Structure 1
Amino acid sequence: MSNEFQDFQDMGPVDYLVIEFPGNRMTGKGMSLLLDLVDRGIVRILDFTFVRKDTDGSVIALELRDLDADGELDLSVFEGSSSGLLGQDDLDEAGMALEPGNSAGVLVYENLWAAPLARELRRSGAQLVAGGRIPVQALLASLDAAEAEGGSAAA
């Protein structure tokens, strides 16, 4: 394990995202926002790789340079973003979520903003036993349903 991760007690929560790009069309939109989060110390990228699911269902990892065929999508800033956390099994699992003919970015990141809280909780003996994410669509549907019932979403 690298020195960077040896004191995991000081780390914040680690999350992952699989972001699908239909038809393998990656425009790079949003990448500047991701870099801004890194620059401001909100997140730290641990792994960032790309995969493609071919029409036969096979999943292959892509090199960053393979994604910049037209010279407009500059992902070179992400080269070397590999902690070794992601293995082929992880990439295959990410590929299962993709439609054939599409590609995806697989991002593993540490929530630096939560590191001080996580550290103090660990020191007190607490541990995270469950977690999850509520999709925005589900949240909006719930709010719409509450509004339709005549309730107020505001507390």
Structure 2
Amino acid sequence: MTQDLAGLEETGPIDYLVVAFPNAHFTGEAFPLLVDLVERGIIRILDLTFIQKAQDGSVSGLELSELADGGVDLTIFEGASSGLLGDDDISEAANALAPGDAAGVFVYENVWAAPFAVALRRAGGQLVASGRIPVQAVIAALDAIEPVA
């Protein structure tokens, strides 16, 4: 087993997010929270890129230095590229955007869950399904529940 593969045995779950920003409107409000999650060792950014879809449908990358709204210097994530996020992934993310929109594409390790994930793997556990329930779906489900009288 190579050293790189040995290191992967100690890795937490890896997730990705594609977050759309309609009309490329970035307030910067979430950026300090992202930096905080990384600094506290809760997550580790493996890949981070921002894209924008022009009115003609073409897609271009945005420089992290262009997203410094909110006073946070995102250039600390410059070069965050593990190779997990490829051109096909960026194209797929762009397909979800309307012209004029932008998106952040994040691949990150859930460092907080690494000890639990390692213990499961050592015990022979294998991930067979994973998913997320969007907050909007939770709200809709709760709204659909009639109050008990």
TM-score, scaled to structure 1: 0.85
- Tell me how far apart the structure 1 counterparts of residues 4 and 108 of structure 2 sit (CA, whole Å): 14
Equivalent position of 1:124 in the other structure: 123
Shift of 1:144: 1.9
Amino acid at match of 2:41: G
- CA 1:114 to 1:72, structure 2 compared with 1: closer, same or farther past 3 Å? closer
Q: 1:23 to 1:39 in 2, by over 3 A?
A: same
Between the aligned partners of 1:78 and 1:5, the Cα distance in structure 2 is 24
Counterpart amino acid of residue 143 in structure 1: L
| In structure 2, distance between residues paired with 1:90 and 1:41 | 26
Which residue identity is paired with 1:61?
A: G
Tell me, which stretches of 5 or more residues in structure 2 are unaligned?
none
Indicate the SS of the match to 2:26.
Answer: coil
Aligned-pair identity in percent equals: 58
Number of paired residues? Answer: 147
Normalised TM-score (structure 2): 0.88
Judged with a 3 Å threshold, the aligned counterparts in structure 2 of structure 1 residues 33 and 116 are, in CA distance, closer, same or farther, namely same
The CA deviation at 1:72 is 5.5
Verify the 8 A CA contact 1:10 1:116 in the aligned structure 2: yes
Counterpart CA distance in 2 for 1:106 and 1:5 is 25
In the TM superposition, 1:1-155 aligns within 5 A as 7-67=7-67, 74-146=73-145, 148=146, 150=148
Aligned counterparts of 2:24 and 2:5: Cα–Cα separation in 1: 33
**Partner Cα distance (1:36, 1:65) in 2:** 18
Within 1, Cα distance between the matches of 2:106 and 2:4? 18
Q: Which moved more, 1:57-66 or 1:33-42?
A: 57-66
1:97–1:111 distance in 2 versus 1, CA, 3 Å = same
Q: Give the SS at the match of 2:133.
A: coil
Separation (CA, whole Å) in 1 of partners of 2:39 and 2:133: 26
Q: Is the 8 A contact 1:27 1:73 kept in 2?
A: no
Any gaps of 5 or more consecutive residues in structure 1?
none
Q: Please give the per-residue CA displacement for 1:24-52, whole angstroms capped at 9, x wherever unaligned.
A: 22221111111111111111000110111
Secondary structure, aligned partner of 2:27? coil
Flag the 1:139–1:119 CA change in 2: closer, same or farther, 3 A: same
Contact 1:15 1:111 in 2 (8 A): yes
- Which amino acid counterpart does residue 150 of structure 1 have in structure 2? V
Q: Flag the 1:97–1:6 CA change in 2: closer, same or farther, 3 A.
A: farther
